[in-house]
C-alpha cells in the first residue's frame, strides 16, 4: 500500500474542511488537492540583481511541477545580497539572514505540512539556508542553481564585481579616481545572477552538487541561460518523483557526502564561508561530522584542480564550459565516497559514469594540479583554542606560511582602515581586529574584507599579517589572513586579551596560531577585564545575538542535544 502524503488530512474532518475552503477559494480543485504538494522556495527581490530573475524561474518550475503531477505552492523568503544588506548595522545582517531564511521556510513549509520543496538557490546565503532547512525538515528536497551574472569590460579590460570591490578600497586610498570607479561600477555587472568568480555563491553552488542535493551538471551555470532553465525543468519533474519515492535529505546528507563537498571546496580553492555553512548543515541534519577537522584531514590529500578568479586567471565561464562541478568530481573520483546517494536516486559513482572533462587545462587531473598544498587550513593554538581559518589559495604566489610579529590591535574595523590609510602599520606587524564575531558584531559585522583589500591596496599584503574574529567575503584571497578566530573576543576568547606589542605567531604548516605571552600575564588581564559584556543590539540582531551558537556549530541558532 502506498504511503499517504504528509499533507494528507482526513476528508471531512474540521481541519481538512478549513484548508479546503482556503484552497478552493484559490482555484485549486479537489483533484489537485490529492497531489504531492511542493513548496517552490523563492527569494525574489527587486533590491538586488542576484535575485531579480527568480520569478521567471519560479514560473517555469511551477509549470513543470504541474505537468509532472504535483501541486506547487510558491513560498517567499528574505533575499539577502551582501552588497545591498551590508549597508546596515555594519554588515551584521549578512550572516544573520541565513538563519532567518531557514526559520522563515519552517513556518510556511512545516506549518502547512507540505510534501517536498524545490529551492531556487542564488546569492551567498540562500544555498546554505536551503541545505540547512532540508536537513532540519527532512522532506524530499532538491536545489536549483540559479546562476552567475555576466560581467563586462571597462577601459579595454575585463571588469567584474571582484575588480570593483578592490577598486572601492583603492579609491578610498586615493589610488583610483572616482571617475574610473564609476566607470567600473557601470560595467561590472551585465545581467542577473550571483558574483562571477569562485566566491561564496559559486563555491556553495559547487558544494550543493558535491553533496548530491542538485541534479548533476547544475553548477555553475550562467543565469537565465538555456542550460539553467533545462536544469530547473528537470529538477521540477524530479522533486515530484522524489516525493513519490520518499527520498529524503538525511538519506543523502551522510558523512560521505560531506567529505565529498569538502574535497570539492578544496579542489576549487573555494570560499572559507563554505566551512561554517557545511557545519551548520551537518548540525541541522543531525550528522555527527566535524567539518573543520575534515578540511585539515583532506587538505593533505586533495590538490587544487582549478584556478578560477580570484584564485587564478580562469573565468567562471571557462569552468562551466570545462564541465563544472560534475567534471571536477570526475577528476576527484578516486578520492570521493562514490557510494553516496544523490537526489537522482543514484550514487555518485553512477552519476559520474561516462563523464568526461571538456578542458583538462581548466579542470586539471590529480597528477597535474595547480597546487598540491592545502588552500584552506584550520589553525588551533593559544589564540584559537577552538579554531581559526586561513586561506592561502594557490601557494607559491608570494604567500607566507609563517609569520611572527607584534600585534597592532583595533576594536573597530573602521579605525583599522584609517590606520592603514595613514601609514601607521609597518612591515612585520600583525594587525588584529576584533569584535566582529557572531555575537560581537553581532552577526559577524564589520569590514573585515575591506581591511584585507586595504592592506593589499597599500602594498602591505605580504608584509603585514591580519588576524580577526570576523568573516571574509569569498572574494578575499590576498595576503596572510586568519579569520573567524574562535572563541570570539566578545565572549572572552583569547583574542580579547591581546594588547599592542604582544608577539603573535602564525604557522600554517604546523596549523598553529599562538600568542607568545606568559599564561600568568593573560590571566591577570582576564581578571582585570572581568566578565565579557556583549555590545548592545536591537531588533532581529538582538535575537540573533542571544541565540547564535559557537562557530564549531557553524553559528547555527538551533541548539542540538
Residues that are catalytic: 473
Q: Is 139:117 a contact under the CB 8 Å cutoff? A: yes
3-state SS, residue 113: coil
Q: Which three cell numbers stand for residue 244?
A: 513519490
Cα separations (Å) of 228 from 57, 64, 221, 241, 463? 9, 14, 6, 20, 43
Q: Which three cell numbers stand for residue 358?
A: 571538456
Rg (C-alpha) for the chain, rounded Å, is 24
Block residue for cell numbers 551590508: 86
Find the largest Cα–Cα distance for the chain: 77
| Chain Cα centroid distance, residue 385 | 24
DSSP label at 534? P
Q: CB within 8 A of 161, min separation 6: which ones? A: 83, 149, 151, 188, 189, 195, 196, 197, 475
3-state helix, strand, coil in the chain (%, to 5): 40, 15, 45
Q: CB within 8 A of 16, min separation 6: which ones? A: 9, 10
User: What is the number of other CB atoms lying within 10 angstroms of the CB of residue 427?
Assistant: 9
Q: CB within 8 A of 441, min separation 6: which ones? A: 89, 90, 91, 92, 95, 435, 470
Cis peptide before 487 (omega within 30 of 0): yes
Q: Is 497:407 a contact under the CB 8 Å cutoff? A: no
Block residue for cell numbers 477559494: 25
The secondary structure element, H or E, covering residue 292 is helix 291-299
Angle, vertex CA 525, rays to CA 524 and CA 529, nearest 5 = 120
Alpha-carbon torsion (15, 16, 20, 21), positive or negative:
negative
3-state SS, residue 401: coil
Amino acid at each position: 500500500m502506498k504511503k499517504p502524503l504528509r499533507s494528507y488530512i482526513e476528508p471531512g474532518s474540521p481541519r481538512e474542511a478549513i484548508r479546503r475552503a482556503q484552497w478552493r477559494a484559490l482555484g485549486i480543485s479537489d483533484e489537485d488537492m490529492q497531489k504531492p504538494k511542493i513548496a517552490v522556495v523563492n527569494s525574489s527581490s527587486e533590491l538586488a540583481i542576484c535575485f531579480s530573475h527568480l520569478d521567471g524561474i519560479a514560473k517555469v518550475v511551477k509549470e513543470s511541477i504541474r505537468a509532472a503531477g504535483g501541486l506547487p505552492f510558491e513560498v517567499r523568503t528574505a533575499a539577502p545580497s551582501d552588497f545591498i544588506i551590508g549597508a546596515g548595522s555594519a554588515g551584521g545582517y549578512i550572516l544573520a539572514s541565513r538563519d532567518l531564511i531557514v526559520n522563515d521556510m519552517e513556518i510556511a513549509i512545516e506549518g502547512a505540512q507540505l510534501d517536498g520543496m524545490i529551492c531556487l538557490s542564488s546569492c551567498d546565503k540562500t544555498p546554505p539556508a536551503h541545505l540547512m532547512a532540508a536537513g532540519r525538515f527532512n522532506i524530499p528536497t532538491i536545489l536549483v542553481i540559479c546562476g552567475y551574472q555576466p560581467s563586462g569590460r571597462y577601459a579595454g579590460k575585463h571588469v567584474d564585481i571582484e575588480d570593483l570591490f578592490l577598486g572601492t578600497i583603492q579609491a578610498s586610498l586615493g589610488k583610483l579616481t572616482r571617475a574610473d570607479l564609476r566607470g567600473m561600477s557601470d560595467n561590472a555587472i551585465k545581467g542577473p545572477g550571483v558574483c562571477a568568480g569562485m566566491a561564496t555563491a559559486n563555491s556553495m553552488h559547487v558544494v550543493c552538487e558535491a553533496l548530491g542535493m542538485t541534479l548533476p551538471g547544475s553548477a555553475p551555470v550562467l543565469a537565465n541561460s538555456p542550460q539553467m532553465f533545462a536544469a530547473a525543468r528537470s529538477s521540477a519533474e524530479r522533486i515530484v518523483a522524489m516525493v513519490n519515492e520518499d527520498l529524503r535529505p538525511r538519506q543523502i546528507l551522510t558523512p560521505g557526502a560531506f567529505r565529498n563537498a569538502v574535497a570539492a571546496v578544496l579542489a576549487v580553492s573555494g570560499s572559507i564561508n563554505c566551512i561554517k555553512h557545511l557545519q551548520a548543515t551537518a548540525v541541522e541534519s543531525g550528522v555527527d561530522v566535524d567539518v573543520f577537522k575534515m578540511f585539515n584531514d583532506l587538505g593533505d590529500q586533495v590538490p587544487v584542480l582549478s584556478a578560477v578568479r580570484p584564485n587564478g586567471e580562469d573565468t567562471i565561464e571557462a569552468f562551466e564550459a570545462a564541465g563544472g562541478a560534475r567534471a571536477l568530481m570526475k577528476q576527484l573520483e578516486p578520492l570521493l565516497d562514490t557510494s553516496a546517494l544523490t537526489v537522482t536516486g543514484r550514487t555518485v559513482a553512477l552519476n559520474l559514469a561516462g563523464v568526461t572533462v571538456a578542458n583538462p587545462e581548466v579542470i586539471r587531473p590529480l597528477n597535474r594540479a595547480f597546487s598540491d598544498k592545502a588552500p584552506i587550513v584550520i589553525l588551533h593554538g593559544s589564540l584559537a583554542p577552538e579554531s581559526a581559518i586561513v586561506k592561502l589559495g594557490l601557494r607559491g604566489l608570494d604567500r607566507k606560511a609563517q609569520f611572527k610579529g607584534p600585534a597592532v590591535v583595533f576594536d573597530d574595523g573602521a579605525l583599522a582602515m584609517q590606520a592603514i590609510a595613514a601609514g601607521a602599520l609597518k612591515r612585520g606587524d600583525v594587525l588584529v581586529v576584533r569584535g566582529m564575531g557572531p555575537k560581537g558584531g553581532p552577526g559577524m559585522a564589520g569590514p573585515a574584507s575591506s581591511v584585507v583589500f586595504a592592506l593589499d591596496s597599500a602594498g602591505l599584503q605580504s608584509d603585514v599579517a591580519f588576524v580577526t574574529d570576523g568573516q571574509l567575503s569569498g572574494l578575499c584571497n590576498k595576503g596572510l589572513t586568519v579569520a573567524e578566530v574562535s572563541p570570539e573576543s566578545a565572549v572572552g576568547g583569547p583574542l580579547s586579551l591581546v594588547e599592542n606589542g604582544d608577539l603573535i605567531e602564525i604557522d600554517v604548516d604546523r596549523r598553529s596560531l599562538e600568542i607568545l605571552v606568559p599564561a600568568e600575564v593573560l590571566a591577570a588581564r582576564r581578571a582585570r577585564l572581568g566578565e565579557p559584556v556583549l555590545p548592545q543590539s536591537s531588533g532581529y540582531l538582538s535575537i540573533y545575538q542571544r541565540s547564535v551558537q559557537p562557530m564549531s556549530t557553524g553559528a547555527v541558532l538551533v541548539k542540538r542535544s
